Amino acid sequence: MTIRVSLLSAALWFGAGVAPGLAGHRCHVYVVDVQRALSLAQRLEDGVLPDDQYEQQLALSETRFDEFEPVVREEQLTTKHYQMPHDGNQITASVFYTDEALGIVGEDFALDSVSLSVVVSAIRHENASSVPGNAIIETGFSEFSVLARVKQFVMSAGLEFLVGMECQFAESYDSLYRALGLRTTDDAPESTNSLNGSPAEPPSRKP
- Render pLDDT for 8-38 as a digit per residue (tens, 0 to 9): 554 554 444 433 333 478 999 999 999 989 9
Q: Specify the pLDDT at position 193.
A: 31
Q: What is the mean pLDDT of residues 146-167?
A: 92
Stronger pLDDT, 75 or 119, i.e. the higher one: 119
Q: What is the band of 120 on the pLDDT scale with cuts at 50, 70, 90?
A: very high
Q: Is the pLDDT of residue 85 over 50?
A: yes
For residue 50, the model assigns a pLDDT of: 85
Q: Which of 14-23, 42-51, 58-67, 99-108 has the lowest mean pLDDT?
A: 14-23
Choice among 59-68, 173-182, 192-201 with the minimum mean pLDDT = 192-201
pLDDT bin (cut points 50, 70, 90) of residue 157 is confident
pLDDT in tens, 69-83: 999 888 899 999 999
- Considering Cα of 124, then 127, then 133, then 139, what sign does the dihedral take? positive
Q: What is the mean pLDDT of residues 55-68?
A: 89
Mean predicted lDDT score pLDDT of the chain? 75
pLDDT at 109: 58
